[in-house]
Structure 1
Amino acid sequence: MENGTYFYFMLFENLGYIRYVFFSLGFILYCAIILFNVIIMLVIFLERTLHQPMYILISCLSFNSVFGTAGFFPRALTDLLSDTHSISREACVLQTVVIFMYAANEFTILMVMAIDRFAAISKPLQYHNIITPRFLIVSVGINVAYPIILLSIGGLLSTKLRMCGNKLFKVYCHNYEVVKLSCESTVINNVIGLFILITTTVIPISLILYSYVKILIVCQKSSSQFKGKAYQTCIPHIVVLLNFSIAVISDVTLSRVVNVELPIWLSVFLSLEFLIIPPILNPLVYALNLPDIRKKIICLIKASR
């Protein structure tokens, strides 16, 4: 095969029989991710009292988790059972776009959630004039379109590069790792990659932190009862934000900053954390911490018996 036409996932090599253990664990985890997130989406869709901006955005998070993990798990599980671990350049670009669109969408949805909570807590009387159905539709539309456009441009540019290698020391396609295999100048690719990182990660996180700081200031001036209600709705979002931010920072640091040799198992875990932990943790956080969702899930389970 022509160099650069196919890439090879080197970390799947020489796993021996332990690959069946990894396959079993990965399959169980993937099924749990789909089950938990589908339950959240189903409960919010079926229960009309949950047709509110906050819960609609939570269902968007669950849908995004199903979308993002679909870009990783089926391919990785197939590779674990296969003797060949190659992927075409086109399929590699597609996987990159799907996985990093998931990451970009997660931050954008969390940003809209923070704005929603800020409006609900600081301007309760004007809330329905600020967070309108049109606002949600436009936000979700931009949330989907913007990462697709940017990541597609980044992926297209990487396909134009001449490759001097085809070995990826990852278990999924990572655009930065692909670009590093090029023999040509990658300045444009790196600039666009940095721009994507800033606009889809740094800016949303900054707006999220600003919103929650303003919420905290409002709460400090309010009654203890008001504080309790505000914290009850905000804490799950903050837990989800911290969890995902740490996972993404680990992956970015591992790929672009850290230049030390790490044990393979640790390197793989850090690079996969944002694809494994948030999709399974998010629905549990919301199911356990938001009474409205928890009650409806219990009712749904009882009704299915």
Structure 2
Amino acid sequence: MINSTLSNLSYFILGAYLHVGNLRYFYFLITALLYIVIVAVNTSLIVVICMNRSLREPMYLFLCSLFVNELYGSTGLFPFLLLQILSDIHTVSAPFCFLQIFCLYTYGSIEFCNLAIMSYDRYLAICCPLYYNTRMPLNKVFIFIFVVWLYSFVKCLIALFLNISLTLCGNFINSLYCQNYLVVKLACSDTKGYNIYGLLVVVLTILVPLLPILFSYLKILKVCFAASKQTRQKAVSTCTPQLVSLLNFSFGCCFEILQSRFDMTGVPSVLRIFLSLYFLIVQPLLNPIMYGMQMSKIRRTFKHLFCYKLLTGQRDTM
């Protein structure tokens, strides 16, 4: 094989697409429908939170950041996936491939960090209700959100520069989209420094957010055991969506890691494809639906805004 760097490597070949003939149009419609639903539900909830002053509270602003991240991650995958489904040649330019890696990995980092600050917010609200407003003012909320996004972008940007500097000995990626680990596997130069930073990124992405999450929920659990039944029910209803979201995203990331790092030739190809896309499809669908259904304040605001506009629109046409 001929060694090549990013300067003369013009494209990567994606080898995980199935030759499905006319079924490609069916898969295209399903994928397009999923993307439309994800964009519609996440955008609707962002609009609801931004337009209603009563929802300008820490919990809802953190949710808004979460929904924006779902749109960001989905847009990094779905338009590209739709083009690849209709294409006969499954290639991607090298610059776009690295851009997609950056987008999807920052999405994962922001998701974990956002869930961490949401768990800390719930800890303050349940365990320190008298001091909640002083410890979580709106200016602090915006600082938290800014730091989460900046932290994730800077961390992944460093990894991206290290990735680009690698000398590659091939351009075949057995995946539906560009994955960092699979690109690094193509390297024929020394990857020791990159591997060390990669391990550090894993620690910063997973273990660092996990510490405040464990601390927060252990404290909440302690308070629930000593509190009244009504307080326990309120705490459970408030924390359940976050725990479900955290577990779902963690499982999705584990699926992606397993199918990209281990030999899964014995697993049906359709299942492998689903596992690789799980955290990029289910999470952006699950979060807005779950939070929208669970939180009565969001439901009431959503009904008021959209039903009111629908009614006024009908009156104007009469």
Query: If the TM-score is normalised by the length of the shorter chain, which range does it land in?
Result: over 0.9
**Counterparts of 1:34-183 in structure 2 under 5 Å?**
34-183=39-188
- Asked whether 1:259 is paired with 2:233, we answer no
Take 2:214 and 2:251, find their aligned partners in 1: how far apart are those partners?
A: 14
Take 2:207 and 2:175, find their aligned partners in 1: how far apart are those partners?
A: 24
Aligned to 2:10: 5
Kept in 2, the 8 Å contact 1:68–1:99? The answer is yes
Query: Counterpart of 1:278 in structure 2: which amino acid?
Result: Q
Take 1:88 and 1:156, find their aligned partners in 2: how far apart are those partners?
A: 17
Aligned to 2:316: none
TM-aligned CA deviation for residue 57 of structure 1: 0.6
TM-aligned CA deviation for residue 300 of structure 1: 2.4
Unaligned stretches of 5+ residues in structure 2? 311-318
TM-aligned CA deviation for residue 46 of structure 1: 1.0
Pair 1:13–1:270, CA change in 2 (3 A): closer
Query: Counterpart of 2:46 in structure 1: which amino acid?
Result: M
TM-aligned CA deviation for residue 14 of structure 1: 2.4
Q: TM-score, normalised by structure 2?
A: 0.91
Unaligned stretches of 5+ residues in structure 1? none
Kept in 2, the 8 Å contact 1:53–1:116? The answer is yes
- Asked whether 1:203 is paired with 2:208, we answer yes
Aligned to 1:240: 245
Take 1:17 and 1:158, find their aligned partners in 2: how far apart are those partners?
A: 37
Match of 1:218 among 205, 217, 223: 223
Take 1:243 and 1:136, find their aligned partners in 2: how far apart are those partners?
A: 25
Kept in 1, the 8 Å contact 2:259–2:276? The answer is yes
Aligned to 1:277: 282
- Asked whether 1:190 is paired with 2:198, we answer no
User: Tell me, what secondary structure is at the counterpart of 1:196?
Assistant: helix
TM-aligned CA deviation for residue 13 of structure 1: 5.3
Pair 1:74–1:260, CA change in 2 (3 A): closer
- Would you say how many aligned residue pairs link Structure 1 and Structure 2? 304
Kept in 1, the 8 Å contact 2:45–2:64? The answer is yes
TM-aligned CA deviation for residue 102 of structure 1: 0.6
User: Tell me, what secondary structure is at the counterpart of 1:71?
Assistant: helix
Runs of 4+ aligned structure 1 residues displaced above 6 Å come to: none
User: Tell me, what secondary structure is at the counterpart of 1:8?
Assistant: strand
Take 2:301 and 2:278, find their aligned partners in 1: how far apart are those partners?
A: 30
TM-aligned CA deviation for residue 185 of structure 1: 2.1
TM-aligned CA deviation for residue 266 of structure 1: 1.6
Take 1:125 and 1:87, find their aligned partners in 2: how far apart are those partners?
A: 54
Take 1:81 and 1:253, find their aligned partners in 2: how far apart are those partners?
A: 27
Take 2:164 and 2:19, find their aligned partners in 1: how far apart are those partners?
A: 29
Q: TM-score, normalised by structure 1?
A: 0.95
Kept in 1, the 8 Å contact 2:11–2:91? The answer is yes
Take 1:260 and 1:79, find their aligned partners in 2: how far apart are those partners?
A: 23
TM-aligned CA deviation for residue 4 of structure 1: 3.4
Kept in 2, the 8 Å contact 1:7–1:168? The answer is yes
**Alignment RMSD (CA, Å):** 1.6
